[in-house]
Amino acid sequence: MIHWPAAFAPGAALEPPHPTIPNELELDETVSLVDTWKAMIALPKSKVRAIGVSNFGIDAMEGITKATGVAPVSQILPIYALILTGHQVVNQIEAHPLLPQPELVNYCNENNIHITAYSPLGHNCVSLRFLLPSLSLMTH
């Protein structure tokens, strides 16, 4: 799965800081998203049962489709489709009441792409409150 429609610079850091721009991450711009998708398409089917995307917006999904002719909505199924019945296609995105992403949801619905929401209760990776204020509510 392509987890983000961007590549971080190689190295030991999970999120490498940009060397000259404060509070930015360093991206690897030497390999395009299309090149990455082409490499995934070319993986041997005997070794890889599915390929897919996560955190892709409309532009990114349309871009790889136009460039390769192979869409995330094709018979090459995203990994999360393996846990679903049938041949549903999935784009895993952050979605919750504070980030509903209606345009992306409509696009996915129109193209038979199932959405799997991560952080459906919100998250506090930037010290924001959860949607449910009490942990006891989340565990019952």
Return d(Cα 84, Cα 80) in angstroms, integer.
Answer: 7
Helix axis angle, 58-68 to 33-41, nearest 10°? 60
Annotate 66-129 with DSSP letters as a single string: HHHS--TTSSS--GGGGGSSTT-EEEEEE-BTTB--HHHHHHHHHTTEEEEEESTT---TTSPP
The answer to whether residues 90 and 80 touch, using CB atoms and an 8 Å cutoff, is yes
| Segment 56-67, tens digit of pLDDT | 888 988 888 889
pTM here is 0.66
Top mean pLDDT of 17-26, 51-60, 66-75, 129-138 is at: 17-26
Nearest alpha carbon to residue 122 among 92, 139, 97, 104: 97
| Segment 30-46, tens digit of pLDDT | 989 899 989 988 888 78
Return d(Cα 119, Cα 28) in angstroms, integer.
Answer: 27
What the chain holds in terms of domains, given with CATH numbers, is 33-139 (3.20.20.100)
| Segment 73-119, tens digit of pLDDT | 443 444 444 443 343 456 788 887 778 889 999 988 887 777 888 77
